[in-house]
C-alpha cells in the first residue's frame, strides 16, 4: 500500500513542477505590468496609495493560502487558489486600457475616453482632463523613433540611454538596487518556511500553524496601513525605516536564539513570534509595496518596459536564490549566524537607500525625470 502511494506521489511531481513554472511565468508578468498600469492610470496625489494594491493583494493571497492550507488538502488548496484568477479575468475585461499607452500609440481619442472613464468625468469641457491630456502630450513626445531608424542605431541609442549618468541609467540602478535590498531581507524565506521556523527554531508556545496565520493577518493589516503612511511620510523615509526595523527585529531574534542555545533563559516565550511579526509589519509598510511603486514612478516612459523587466528579473532570481539557500545556511552556519548576517545586510540596505534613493512623493512624471537629469544624486556627479 505504501509502495502504491509512493508511486502515485512521485508521478505527480512533474505536474507540480510544470504548474509552478507556469504560475511563476504568470507572476513575473503580473509584477511587471500591474505596477506600470497602476502608475499610468493614477492621479499624482493618489499614485502612492494605488501602487500599494499589488502588494496588498499578494499579502491577502498569502494569508488565504496560510488559512485554507491549514484545513484542506493540497489538491483543494490548488483548486481554491485557481478560482481567484478566473474571477479577476472575468471582471477586469471591462477596465479600459492605460491612457499613457493609448497616447504612446497615437490613439488620442481613446486616450481621452479612458481618462474620462477613470476620472469619472463626462463633461466635454472639463479643464482637468484637458490639462492632463496636455501633460500626456509632453510625456510621450520622446517615445516615438523616426521611421527610417536602423536596428544598429536603435541599439546604440538604447546603450547611450542606459549610461549611469543618464536618467534611464540612474533609474535602472536605483530600482534594481531597491529590489536587491528587498530580497536580501530574506522575507520570502520567512514566508515559505514560517511553519518550520516556529516549530524548529523560534520555540514559540503557540502551534506553528496558528503562529503562521497570525503573521499573515499582521502582514495584511500593516500593508493596509501603508495606504496612509505612503502619502504622509513619503517613500524614501518609509523604505529606510522599514529596512532598519527589519534589521533590528531579525538581530533581536538572533540574540535570543544565541542566549537560549547557551543555556540562558529565553527573554519571553512570545519573543520569536513578536520578532517575526515586527519583521513582517516593517516589510509590509515599506520594502514590500514601495519598490514596485517606485519602479513604475521612476522609469522614463520610453524605457519603462525594459527597466521594469530587468528589475523584476533580478527580484525573482533573488527570490529563488534566498529561498533555495536559506535551509543550507541554517545547517552550515547555524541560526544565529544566519539571522545575524541577514540583519547586517539589512543595515547595509538602509545605507544604500539613504545614499541613492530620491523622494518621489507628490511629484509628476516630468518632475521625477527632471530630478534624475540633475546632478543632485550622490552617485551621479557630472564628468
The answer to whether residues 19 and 31 belong to one domain is yes
Contacts of 16 (CB under 8 A, 6+ apart): none
Same domain flag for 137 and 263? no
- Residue 111, number of CB atoms within 10 A of its CB: 25
Question: Given this model, what pLDDT does residue 351 score?
Answer: 93
Q: Are 246 and 60 in contact (CB under 8 A)?
A: no
Residues 352 and 47: their CA atoms lie apart, in Å, by 24
66 and 9 assigned to the same domain: yes
3-state secondary structure of 98: coil
Does residue 336 form part of some domain?
Answer: yes
Cα 365 from Cα 140, distance rounded (Å): 11
If asked whether residues 344 and 274 sit together in one domain, one would say yes
In a domain, 378, yes or no: no
Residue 241 has what pLDDT? Answer: 92
Q: Are residues 284 and 359 in the same domain?
A: yes
**128 shares a domain with 184:** no
Inside any domain, residue 153: no
Residue 272, pLDDT score: 75
Do 46 and 182 share a domain, yes or no? yes
Is 150 domain-assigned? no
Question: Is residue 264 located within the same domain as residue 358?
Answer: yes
CA dist., res. 330 & res. 248, Å (int) = 19
Exposed e or buried b for every residue in 13-33, given b needs 16+ CB within 10 A?
eeeeeeeeeeeeeeeeeebbe
Confirm whether 108 is domain-assigned: yes
The answer to the question of residue 14 being in a domain is: yes
CA-to-CA distance for 366 and 339, rounded, in angstroms? 41
Say if CB 289 and CB 226 are below 8 A apart.
Answer: yes
Are residue 244 and residue 123 in the same domain, yes or no? no
Q: Which pLDDT does position 164 carry in this prediction? A: 67
How many angstroms separate the CA atoms of 38 and 117, rounded? Answer: 15
Domain boundary among 73, 108, 142: 142
Which domain range does residue 119 map to?
A: 96-142
Cβ contacts of 169 within 8 Å, gap of 6 or more: 161, 162, 163
Of 107, 142, 177, the last residue of a domain is 142
* Domain shared by 190 and 221, yes or no: yes
Q: Tell me, what CATH number does 43's domain have? A: 1.20.1250.20
**In order along the chain (383 residues), what is the average pLDDT of each group of 10 residues?**
50 76 82 81 74 79 80 82 85 84 81 82 70 75 47 44 73 92 89 67 57 75 75 84 93 84 57 80 86 84 82 90 89 89 94 89 78 64 39
Note whether residue 34 is domain-resident: yes
Q: Are residues 101 and 70 in the same domain?
A: no
> Into how many domains does the chain fold?
2
Residue 347 lies in a domain: yes
- CA 58 to chain CA centroid, Å, is 9
| Domain identity same for 307 and 258 | yes
Q: What is the pLDDT of residue 153?
A: 40
Helices (H), ranges, 206-303: 208-232, 235-261, 271-282, 290-298
Amino acid at each position: 500500500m505504501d509502495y502504491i502511494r509512493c508511486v502515485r506521489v512521485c508521478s505527480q511531481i512533474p505536474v507540480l513542477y510544470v504548474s509552478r513554472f507556469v504560475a511563476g511565468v504568470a507572476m513575473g508578468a503580473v509584477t511587471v505590468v500591474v505596477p506600470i498600469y497602476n502608475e499610468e492610470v493614477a492621479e499624482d496625489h493618489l499614485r502612492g496609495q494605488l501602487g500599494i494594491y499589488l502588494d496588498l493583494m499578494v499579502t491577502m493571497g498569502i494569508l488565504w493560502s496560510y488559512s485554507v492550507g491549514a484545513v484542506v488538502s493540497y489538491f483543494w488548496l490548488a483548486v481554491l487558489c485557481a478560482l481567484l484568477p478566473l474571477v479577476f479575468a472575468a471582471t477586469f475585461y471591462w477596465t479600459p486600457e492605460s491612457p499613457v499607452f493609448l497616447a504612446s500609440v497615437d490613439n488620442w481619442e481613446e486616450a481621452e475616453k479612458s481618462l474620462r472613464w477613470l476620472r469619472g468625468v463626462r463633461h466635454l469641457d472639463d479643464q482637468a482632463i484637458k490639462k492632463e491630456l496636455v501633460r500626456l502630450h509632453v510625456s510621450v513626445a520622446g517615445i516615438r523613433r523616426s521611421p527610417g531608424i536602423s536596428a544598429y542605431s536603435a541599439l546604440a541609442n538604447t546603450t547611450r540611454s542606459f549610461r549611469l549618468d543618464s536618467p534611464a541609467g540612474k533609474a535602472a540602478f536605483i530600482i534594481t538596487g531597491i529590489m536587491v535590498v528587498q530580497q536580501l531581507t530574506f522575507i520570502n524565506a520567512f514566508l515559505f518556511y514560517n511553519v518550520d521556523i516556529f516549530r524548529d527554531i523560534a520555540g514559540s508556545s503557540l502551534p506553528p500553524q496558528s503562529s503562521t496565520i497570525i503573521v499573515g493577518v499582521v502582514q495584511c493589516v500593516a500593508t493596509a496601513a501603508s495606504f496612509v503612511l505612503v502619502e504622509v511620510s513619503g517613500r524614501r523615509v518609509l523604505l529606510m525605516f522599514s529596512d532598519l526595523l527589519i534589521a533590528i527585529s531579525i538581530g533581536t531574534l538572533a540574540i535570543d536564539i544565541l542566549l537560549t542555545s547557551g543555556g540562558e533563559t529565553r527573554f519571553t516565550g512570545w519573543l520569536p513570534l513578536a520578532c517575526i511579526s515586527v519583521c513582517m509589519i516593517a516589510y509590509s509598510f515599506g520594502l514590500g509595496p514601495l519598490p514596485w511603486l517606485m519602479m513604475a514612478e521612476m522609469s522614463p516612459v520610453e524605457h519603462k518596459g525594459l527597466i521594469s523587466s530587468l528589475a523584476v528579473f533580478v527580484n525573482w532570481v533573488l527570490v529563488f536564490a534566498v529561498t533555495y539557500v536559506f535551509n543550507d545556511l541554517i545547517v552550515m552556519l547555524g541560526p544565529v549566524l544566519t539571522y545575524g548576517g541577514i540583519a547586517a545586510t539589512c543595515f547595509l540596505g538602509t545605507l544604500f537607500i539613504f545614499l541613492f534613493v530620491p523622494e518621489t512623493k507628490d511629484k509628476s512624471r516630468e518632475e521625477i525625470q527632471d530630478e534624475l537629469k540633475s546632478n543632485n544624486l550622490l552617485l551621479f556627479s557630472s564628468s
